[in-house]
Amino acid sequence: MSSRPPMIISAAGPSGPSAGEVMRAPRLWAVALIVVAAALLQVSLMPFIQVARGVPDVLVCAVVAVGLQRGSLVGAVSGAAGGFIVELTSPVGTLGALALLYLVVGWGAGRLCGHDEVRGLLPPVVLCLVAEFIVQAGDVFAQLLLARPLEFGDVVRTLLASVILTGLVAIPVLAVTRWLLGAPRSIEPFVVSGDV
């Protein structure tokens, strides 16, 4: 009776599901839950866990995990939404900058959705570290554009501390996300093979 066409999976990895396979429940509610919870944790609890001016980034781990599990479109949208939530609810002095950075991170992680190389635990953790580096470096760039006074040594120390602390929180975040979302599969309604 339903006229809704089945969603199409397009996992780029060689062992991923083939195109044309009918999707199971996409669990977008779980994606939204993960992103909102991570963003709220990021603005409430994480700033108090400050070591050497670095702050662990739960949101970047969540966005990377969502991207790896659900593809580039969901990853990008999740990143942008999470970034906007952080910027709206925490005094960060920008609106749109973090959203853009997390969007890029989510999109990039989503490009690896379904790849065999990121099925283990270590590669996603490394990906989280790289993503945090990108977010921190982008944040520094945004602050420089806004003519905020920064000290090179301070920036390096903050960046390193943030990356290390993010690595520590990455494993539990990745585990929870995998548990909530299930197996990696692209649920993007507009995905076709070899796209973007």
- Residues found near another protein in the complex (CB under 8 A): 19-20, 40, 42-48, 50, 53-55, 72-73, 76-77, 80, 83, 86-100, 103, 107, 139-140, 143, 146-151, 154-155, 158, 162, 188-196
- Nearest distance, CB of residue 57 and another protein, angstroms: 9
Phi, psi of 54 (to 5 degrees): -90, 145
d(CA 169, CA 160): 15
Measured from the CB atom, the residue of 113 and 178 that comes closer to another protein is 113
Token couple for 147: 């003519």
CB of 122 to another protein, least distance (A): 27
Q: Locate 182 and state its tokens.
A: 């299930």
CB of 113 to another protein, least distance (A): 13
Identify which of residues 49 and 183 has a Cβ nearer to another protein in the complex.
49
Residue with Cβ nearer another protein (50 or 178) = 50
Q: How far apart are CA 112 and CA 13, in angstroms?
A: 8
Rank residues 43 and 134 by Cβ distance to another protein and give the closer one: 43
CB of 59 to another protein, least distance (A): 9
Cα(first)–Cα(last) distance of the chain, in Å?
33
Measured from the CB of residue 1, what is the shortest distance to another protein in angstroms?
Answer: 23
What is the distance between the alpha carbons of residues 196 and 183, in angstroms, rounded to a whole number?
22
Helix (H, G, I), strand (E, B) or coil at 147: coil
Residue among 125, 103, 126 nearest 178 (CA): 125
Q: Which is nearer to another protein, 51 or 121 (CB)?
A: 51
Q: What are the phi and psi torsion angles at 30 (to 5°)?
A: -70, -35
Please identify, using beta-carbon distances, which residue of 95 and 121 lies nearer to another protein.
95
- Shortest distance (Å) from residue 63 CB to another protein: 13
**Interatomic CA distance for residues 128 and 174, integer angstroms:** 9
According to DSSP, residue 4 is labeled: P
